């Protein structure tokens, strides 16, 4: 029995050490302050009302808000299909839309949720660094100054920003996988701890 307890305790130690390493890597990825700085800067640079940075969750095939003007992290989550941001991520191509307040779509539901009205939008994809042709997120800018429309110069500037943010966004994209691994390890640790308790009870003659 002592040998079994020793093996369980050794396995627990190894798992806890691995989980610590994963958690450390998780905390080191992403730079929220940098992304929030760009979210604050871009509406001024493009004479727009809002800017948002979205991250793709490859498991759920949904896109969630990381940083945005006037909204909290994860306050907005939209599907790949049927949303403008999702379409840009799926196609890997920038999109400009006008008169959106007169058209139906996911943006209408989000507007109801946030109390904001979307009139026009410019969205560019953020591509991955480690894998060719991978899109990991998107930058969206809403509502150009009244009387103006988003144009090719705006798109070029936003695409330049997306290029410089590639590494940061891919880190957050990969961070989702690290979190999944950490949760799986937590479950294995919980099961091993249960085995350890039962083994010790059995050793004392108080268990099964």
Rounded to whole angstroms, the Cα distance separating 40 from 172 reads 19
Q: What is the pLDDT of residue 129?
A: 79
Rg (CA), the chain: 23
CA distance 200 to 152: 70
Q: Which residues of the chain have pLDDT under 50?
A: 29, 207-208
pLDDT of residue 108: 78
pLDDT in tens, 125-134: 999 877 767 8
Cα 86 from Cα 16, distance rounded (Å): 37
pLDDT of residue 22: 54
- In eight-state DSSP terms, residue 49 is E
What pLDDT does residue 92 have? 94
Displacement of CA 123 from its chain's centroid (Å): 16
């Amino acid at each position: 029995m002592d040998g079994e307890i020793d093996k369980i305790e050794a396995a627990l130690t190894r798992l806890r050490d691995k989980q610590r390493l994963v958690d450390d890597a998780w905390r080191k990825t992403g730079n929220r302050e940098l992304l929030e700085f760009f979210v604050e800067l871009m509406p001024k640079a493009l004479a727009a009302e809002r800017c948002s940075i979205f991250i793709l969750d490859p498991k759920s095939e949904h896109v969630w808000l990381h940083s945005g003007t006037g909204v909290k992290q994860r306050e907005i989550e939209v599907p790949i299909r049927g949303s403008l941001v999702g379409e840009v991520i799926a196609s890997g191509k920038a999109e400009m839309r006008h008169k959106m307040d007169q058209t139906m779509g996911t943006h209408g539901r989000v507007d109801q949720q946030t109390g904001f009205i979307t009139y026009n939008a410019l969205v560019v994809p953020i591509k991955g660094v480690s894998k060719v042709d991978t899109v990991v997120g998107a930058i969206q800018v809403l509502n150009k100054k009244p009387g103006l429309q988003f144009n090719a110069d705006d798109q070029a500037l936003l695409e330049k920003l997306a290029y410089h943010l590639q590494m940061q966004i891919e880190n957050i994209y990969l961070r989702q996988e690290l979190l999944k691994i950490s949760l799986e390890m937590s479950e294995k640790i919980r099961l091993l701890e249960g085995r350890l308790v039962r083994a010790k009870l059995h050793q004392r003659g108080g268990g099964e």
